[in-house]
Chain A
Amino acid sequence: MAGTKSALVLCMDVGFSMSNSAPGEEPPFELAKKVIQKFVQRQVFAENKDELALVLFGTDSTKNPLDRDGQYQNITVHRHLMIPDFELLEEIENQVHPESQQADWMDALVVCMDLLQTETKGKKFDRLNVALLTDLSTQANQDHLDVIIENLKQAGITLQFFLPFPAEDDEEGGGDSDRRGPGHPGTGKGLSREQKESLDLVKHVMLSLDEEDGLDQVYTFRDAIEQLCMFKRIERRPMAWPCQLTIGSCLSIRIVGYKAVTEERLKKMWVTVDAQSNQKEDVKRETVYCLDDDNETEVKKDDTIQGFRYGSDIVPFSKVDQDQMKYKHDGKCFAVLGFTKQNLVRRHQFMGSQVVKMFAPKDDEHAGVALSALIRALDELQMVAIVRYAYDRRSNPQVGAAFPCVKQDYECLMYVQLPFMEDLRQFTFPSLENNKKLSPSDTQLSAVDSLIDSMMLVQKDDDDADQKDIFKVHHIPNPAFQRHFQCLHHRAVNPGTPLPPMEPWLKAALERPDVISERCQAPLEEIKRKFPLIEVEKKKKLKTSAQIFGKDAEEPDAKKAKGDEEEDYNLADIAEGSVTSVGSVDPARDFRTLIKLKSLPFGEVCQQLTHRIEQLLSNKNTHYYMKSITCIQAFREQSVKFLVVEEKKEEAAVPSAEDTGDVDDLLDMM
């Protein structure tokens, strides 16, 4: 939960036994390292205030505050408690290796507890936790076991164990360890005496801390990796919006609103940096204003005023005047305009991007009763309140509906914005059912029927009324976020390498469930047979260079060049004013004219045109892009002609004029 923060110590065994593994299996060390990496990665991207420390044991050296008189040896505090960052990730990647000593995991636990106690002093943490990753191969010193457990309880430190093998044997499975397959390597080998003893110790500790569910906090490495694959959901602290629901001026009920559903966005935006230096300070964006004349005369921002369009009129309207004349209201409100039947508020007319839930304030049970009366009345009558809603003085008021919501453990009103008249577009569409040509036949309809049968995602159990939904969208994490963080992480840790493919689990989560795919095979084939679908030939929507330059653009064609010559050309154009340089209004025409007139050398005219194209491209605007494409077209066309002439002169092979790839890039950019 947001608003709370925790301190966590990752305590990992790097001792020599961790590198032992059966042939073909990943050693426990590698698995444990992966768990830590995935976890730290998640914390880094979540950017919450949780702090993290890393303690390694079984290290060749010793570095910890309790190191005294030969006690607490081979335990290293690798990182003190602080907010995790990529440095830590890199350290784990490059500095955490299997080492050759062994250390007592109980000692390591004491070091972690000491670290938590000393380093959280003066800071407020809601949760203190130690996660131990070990294969339990060393014998643990049990002398101070009771003291340790007592200390854990008192300090409120929770424990988690991550082991290469499951803590509990499958009771029904008996000794049939093969059944688990490759999921849990290490179990097949059988545990050593030390491991068995330690495991009992672990169980003892965990059950003393939490009698009932203590063992739930003992995980295998495999399970942990799978669960950690998903990046944390973006969570935000719900903000309270206290207000009063009013019905007329005599009746009001105190309420508190919380945003319950809204389209979450990534917290960070991409910033533009210079490709060479990677510094954003090197890049400056500037907006200039210019008149719509031939020279595109620039004007200062101070010399501009604000105006608005009123149809064909443009009305100067200063900010001051606008503020004075604009719609003003009394601010925050949640006022009932009236009540209406629920079915008159259509689902597809919901506007805005959020649902706000309204509760009574926590400490006001009278408001709770009053609100409950309203919620239940609406629920029983199948009605909703139509309300005026304004978040505060500065925001625009809305009209919306408050739906009653009665749940097992709470009641609330759910507010959704509704449209204004100006938002609606009343389109009419040709009738489908009344059109004899389009009407599906009975056999066609029954094909659709069996398709729906085969593709129902909610399955009714025969035994009871329970329905099982096998595809819950609101349980899927936003794939865009998952992919985003996957790529960021990859780039951060492996700079200079291409981005990785999408993770398989994510891909699978977005697909039709396998059961459905199998079941709908036959009905789909039937649909295919019953409904002929013929694609209507159309020109491609995406413009390619070939379309812009004409079909044969790839090969400079002498004949074509000749043929084109007389087109697009008339003397009037040339006669119309004398063209002396490539201007900005119609650079392509000027260019053609100048080439035709031969008043300037070919090279110079080309240079003038390229200069204009560069100018055009510096503006981020489709209009300018299109203009520059016309220029490039003209450039190409004239160059081809020029080449043809030159070729005739020299009979020499000249390479093709332009690489069209650049133009494709240009179009992609748009």
Chain B
Amino acid sequence: MAEWNAYYQNEDEDEEQEEGEQSGGDYKVTGRDSLVFLVDASKEMFIKGEDGEPSNFDMTMQVVRSVYTSKIISSHRDLVALVFYGTEQSKNPRNSFKYVYVYHDLDEPGAKRVQEVDALRGEKGARLAAETMGSGETSLGDALWCCANLYSDIKLRLSHKRLMIFTCRDEPHRGDSAKDRQARTKASDLKETGVIIDLMHLMKPGGFDVAPFFRDIVSQPEDESELGLHLEPCDKLEDLQKRVRAKEQKKRAMARLNLCLGEGINVAVGIYATAVTARKPAAIRLYRETNEPVRSKTRTFHMQTGSLLLPSEIKKAQTYGKKQIVMERDEVDSIKKFQDPGLYLIGFKPMEKLKTHHHIRPAVFLYPEEGEVKGSACLFSALLMKCSERNVFALCRCVSRRNYPPRFVALVPQREEVDEGKVQFTPPGFNVIYLPYADDLRTLDPPQCPSASQIQVDKMKEIVSKLRFKYRSEAFENPVIQQHYRNLEALALDMMAPEDTEDLIMPKVDQINHRLGPLAEEFKDLVYPAGYNPESKSVAKRKTAIVGGVAEKKPKAEVPEDELRAHVQNGTLGKLTVPVLKEACKQFGVRTTGTKKQELIDALTTRLAA
């Protein structure tokens, strides 16, 4: 059991990062990311759609809220601001701008802010907005200027600055060319300071025309394709959410490496983590008196002298067959070093040689880094096209960082895919699939079982067809993490009880039963003999096991001292079970930090051999 459990993190146990590999994409973070929502608050934004569709304003607030909460979960150190323009009331740091209402200035989002955005949603929200801000004249220039001030008031170093304009008016100043000009100037000032301006234009009757005004306001897209500027306005919440999400996350390479095809042919590539297991964050320690966070310092010192040990004063050791083997710290590192970091092409294989079950780690994504080696994108693109066309993958040896042993990876080509709205949903590049070594495959002994007959198979096919659905990877929320954050939210906001979470990975039993109708019984009649109950057997077994287990556990497992010594002498301690070893440790007053069998054995051996 212990072995299986090792792969499932127990709650609250700080997980040791596996060689830092899983630590996600944030390498060399040099500052904070920031995002300003600049939202049109004019009357047009509050017009409800046909059939009770939410207003553009309502939709925007939902998106803002979801960004707030996702930032809290995934990147709480990012700064976010919410600013309205075209308001009647004004509220900004020095109150120097009219018709601009800074609802939230640039700061880390917290529980209170989420609540405040919530208040602006729906019917009630529209009323609240009308009361507090109202709709008035529009000066986008002033609004942009005000946002520029928000950025400059921040004392922290900002690495990524983005501003998103949400509006359904393509001519905000109704042809007032002076105001248009001022807005353009302010926009270019902002862009000069490194702010990227995006337009999230929303549906309006008669269509939204980007050309006359906003084309000059927004930043030029990264590439020259048409993808950067979405010409179609959003009319669905889902679309808007997707567009915002795609822009809102700054992509950071986990590593920049060379993909070496041969001597002197190095393509610069960045490695990106596109799926990283989200875990509940680690707890932080607070000082009881003040609730302020405390810092922890770990020190290594000498037991006898009490003096701090410098790195040069410690070594590393392992014990095998009763012998301690000692190495210098840098030797331990050097053992792991095979080559310098990089990807080295071994050759190509047809796609069918990539086995589904050869999976040991989540994949990462490869994209060229034209900024490191010029010409990389072209060669990369050619490789991508040809691999995809010929349905082959590239096999590479991969050393992801310094002093990491090599692993072999399959570079699987992935062509770009865009949806009807020209929004990219699959980026172009190679997926990097980590391949197992011989050690990673286990030998199993599959039981010999009779196969099902075609009638039985066909019945199951009916069942399968009844329960078909279209799988989407983003459809399932993690109930553990969601519950955790709902709990925190409730505590932070002094709510009576946390909001209910729906467990999306719970089977909808009633619906399934209903859909299957008599099929389940029919299938069972075909495969199970009368009186066979798949549940009863194991349940009965388990019950006796529990009863027996309790009864058996009571007598303490003790081994006489001389027997233990004999085991130590012969190196056969491994024969004893973990509980027995633990008991023996207690018996001899051996203190062990570990609970692994080997650690117990090591501890006992050192104690008894002395």
List the B residue with the shortest CB-CB distance to A287: B298
B372 at the interface (CB under 8 A from A): yes
Which residues in B have their C-beta under 8 angstroms from that of A86? 320-323
A397 at the interface (CB under 8 A from B): yes
What is the minimal beta-carbon distance from A439 to any residue of chain B, in angstroms?
7
Which residues in B have their C-beta under 8 angstroms from that of A455? 345, 347-348
Q: Please judge, given known A-B contacts A262-B442, A422-B477, A478-B438, whether A386 and B386 are in contact too, CB under 8 Å.
A: no
* Cα distance A314–B291 in the bound complex, in angstroms: 8
Which residues in A have their C-beta under 8 angstroms from that of B377? 432, 435, 438
> What are 25 A-B pairs at a CB distance below 8 A?
A45-B320, A233-B438, A249-B513, A251-B520, A260-B444, A262-B440, A264-B440, A272-B317, A283-B303, A284-B301, A284-B303, A311-B111, A314-B284, A322-B12, A368-B450, A377-B457, A394-B11, A411-B449, A411-B451, A422-B481, A427-B427, A431-B424, A435-B377, A440-B381, A534-B373
A562 at the interface (CB under 8 A from B): no
Tell me whether A532 and B375 are in contact (CB under 8 A).
yes
Of A30-38, A166-174, A336-344, A603-611, which stretch is located at the interface? A336-344
B584 at the interface (CB under 8 A from A): no
Residue in A310, A340, A364 whose Cβ sees the most chain B Cβ within 10 Å: A310
* Cα distance A325–B491 in the bound complex, in angstroms: 11
Tell me whether B360 and A263 are in contact (CB under 8 A).
yes
Contact partner of B314 among A272, A308, A323, A619, CB < 8 A?
Answer: A272
What is the minimal beta-carbon distance from B395 to any residue of chain A, in angstroms?
6
List the B residue with the shortest CB-CB distance to A231: B439
A326 at the interface (CB under 8 A from B): yes
Chain B interface bracket (under 10, 10 to 19, 20 to 34, 35 or more): 35 or more
Which residues in A have their C-beta under 8 angstroms from that of B316? 270-273
What is the minimal beta-carbon distance from B292 to any residue of chain A, in angstroms?
7
Which residues in B have their C-beta under 8 angstroms from that of A405? 356-357
Chain A 279-313 residues near chain B, CB threshold 8 A: 280-292, 296, 299, 303-313
Which residues in B have their C-beta under 8 angstroms from that of A419? 275, 277, 362, 473
Which residues in A have their C-beta under 8 angstroms from that of B31? none
Q: Please judge, given known A-B contacts A307-B291, A492-B323, whether A438 and B296 are in contact too, CB under 8 Å.
A: no
Chain B 223-278 residues near chain A, CB threshold 8 A: 223-227, 242, 245-247, 249, 251, 261-267, 272-278
Tell me whether B405 and A435 are in contact (CB under 8 A).
no
List the A residue with the shortest CB-CB distance to B383: A448
Tell me whether A383 and B476 are in contact (CB under 8 A).
no
Chain B 354-397 residues near chain A, CB threshold 8 A: 354, 356-363, 365, 367-368, 370-387, 390, 392, 395, 397
Tell me whether A480 and B336 are in contact (CB under 8 A).
yes
Which residues in B have their C-beta under 8 angstroms from that of A258? 442, 444
What is the minimal beta-carbon distance from B167 to any residue of chain A, in angstroms?
22
Chain B 272-301 residues near chain A, CB threshold 8 A: 272-278, 281, 283-289, 291-301
A96 at the interface (CB under 8 A from B): no
A409 at the interface (CB under 8 A from B): yes
* Cα distance A161–B106 in the bound complex, in angstroms: 79
Tell me whether A248 and B507 are in contact (CB under 8 A).
yes
What is the minimal beta-carbon distance from A403 to any residue of chain B, in angstroms?
6
Tell me whether B347 and A510 are in contact (CB under 8 A).
no
A410 at the interface (CB under 8 A from B): yes
B589 at the interface (CB under 8 A from A): no
Tell me whether A239 and B287 are in contact (CB under 8 A).
no
Of B37-45, B66-74, B188-196, B209-217, which stretch is located at the interface? B66-74
Chain A 499-517 residues near chain B, CB threshold 8 A: 499, 502, 510, 512-513, 516
Tell me whether B474 and A421 are in contact (CB under 8 A).
yes
B105 at the interface (CB under 8 A from A): no
B155 at the interface (CB under 8 A from A): no
Tell me whether A311 and B315 are in contact (CB under 8 A).
no
Tell me whether A350 and B318 are in contact (CB under 8 A).
no
A interface footprint on B508-537 (CB within 8 Å = 1, 0 otherwise): 110011001000110110111100101101
What is the minimal beta-carbon distance from A494 to any residue of chain B, in angstroms?
11
Of B87-95, B173-181, B567-575, which stretch is located at the interface? B567-575
A interface footprint on B532-576 (CB within 8 Å = 1, 0 otherwise): 101101100000000000000000000000000000001110110
Other A-B pairs, 13, CB within 8 Å; known A254-B537, A278-B317: A49-B574, A241-B4, A260-B357, A307-B283, A361-B447, A366-B527, A370-B452, A396-B8, A396-B9, A399-B476, A431-B416, A432-B381, A528-B264
B496 at the interface (CB under 8 A from A): no
What is the minimal beta-carbon distance from A229 to any residue of chain B, in angstroms?
14
* Cα distance A198–B10 in the bound complex, in angstroms: 62
Tell me whether B111 and A359 are in contact (CB under 8 A).
no
Which residues in A have their C-beta under 8 angstroms from that of B472? 344
What is the minimal beta-carbon distance from B261 to any residue of chain A, in angstroms?
6
* Cα distance A534–B377 in the bound complex, in angstroms: 12
Contact partner of A244 among B304, B374, B526, B535, CB < 8 A?
Answer: B535
Tell me whether B395 and A457 are in contact (CB under 8 A).
yes
What is the minimal beta-carbon distance from B608 to any residue of chain A, in angstroms?
15
Which residues in A have their C-beta under 8 angstroms from that of B350? 458
List the A residue with the shortest CB-CB distance to B266: A533
Q: Please judge, given known A-B contacts A312-B108, A431-B424, whether A337 and B76 are in contact too, CB under 8 Å.
A: no
Which are the 7 A-B pairs with shortest beta-carbon distances?
A368-B449, A85-B321, A430-B223, A480-B405, A395-B8, A248-B512, A410-B446
Contact partner of A85 among B292, B322, B372, B487, CB < 8 A?
Answer: B322
Overall SS of chain A's interface:
mixed
* Cα distance A62–B384 in the bound complex, in angstroms: 72
Tell me whether A304 and B287 are in contact (CB under 8 A).
yes
Tell me whether B436 and A473 are in contact (CB under 8 A).
yes
B interface footprint on A351-383 (CB within 8 Å = 1, 0 otherwise): 111110101111011111111111011101101
Tell me whether B459 and A373 are in contact (CB under 8 A).
yes
Which residues in B have their C-beta under 8 angstroms from that of A354? 7, 359-360
Tell me whether A250 and B521 are in contact (CB under 8 A).
yes
* Cα distance A396–B10 in the bound complex, in angstroms: 8
Q: Please judge, given known A-B contacts A425-B275, A476-B437, A516-B346, whether A359 and B447 are in contact too, CB under 8 Å.
A: yes
Chain B 107-160 residues near chain A, CB threshold 8 A: 107-114
A7 at the interface (CB under 8 A from B): no
Contact partner of A427 among B274, B471, B572, CB < 8 A?
Answer: B274
Of A481-489, A574-582, A587-595, which stretch is located at the interface? A481-489
Tell me whether A291 and B294 are in contact (CB under 8 A).
yes
Contact partner of B249 among A426, A512, A513, A516, CB < 8 A?
Answer: A426
A669 at the interface (CB under 8 A from B): yes
Which residues in A have their C-beta under 8 angstroms from that of B277? 351-352, 419, 423
Which residues in B have their C-beta under 8 angstroms from that of A239? 1, 3-4
Which residues in A have their C-beta under 8 angstroms from that of B428? 429, 431-433
Tell me whether B321 and A292 are in contact (CB under 8 A).
no
* Cα distance A501–B13 in the bound complex, in angstroms: 39
Tell me whether B325 and A238 are in contact (CB under 8 A).
no
Which residues in B have their C-beta under 8 angstroms from that of A338? 467-469, 471
What is the minimal beta-carbon distance from A69 to any residue of chain B, in angstroms?
32
A interface footprint on B459-482 (CB within 8 Å = 1, 0 otherwise): 111011101111111111111111
Tell me whether A531 and B315 are in contact (CB under 8 A).
no
B483 at the interface (CB under 8 A from A): yes
A87 at the interface (CB under 8 A from B): yes
Tell me whether B378 and A474 are in contact (CB under 8 A).
no
Tell me whether A444 and B274 are in contact (CB under 8 A).
no
* Cα distance A1–B114 in the bound complex, in angstroms: 57
Which residues in B have their C-beta under 8 angstroms from that of A481? 439
B331 at the interface (CB under 8 A from A): yes
* Cα distance A388–B1 in the bound complex, in angstroms: 20
B443 at the interface (CB under 8 A from A): yes
Q: Please judge, given known A-B contacts A337-B507, A430-B225, whether A310 and B488 are in contact too, CB under 8 Å.
A: yes
List the A residue with the shortest CB-CB distance to B458: A377
What is the minimal beta-carbon distance from B311 to any residue of chain A, in angstroms?
6
Which residues in A have their C-beta under 8 angstroms from that of B359? 261, 350, 354-355, 416
A25 at the interface (CB under 8 A from B): no
A572 at the interface (CB under 8 A from B): no
Q: Please judge, given known A-B contacts A306-B286, A347-B356, whether A44 and B303 are in contact too, CB under 8 Å.
A: no
Tell me whether B471 and A373 are in contact (CB under 8 A).
no
* Cα distance A95–B449 in the bound complex, in angstroms: 54
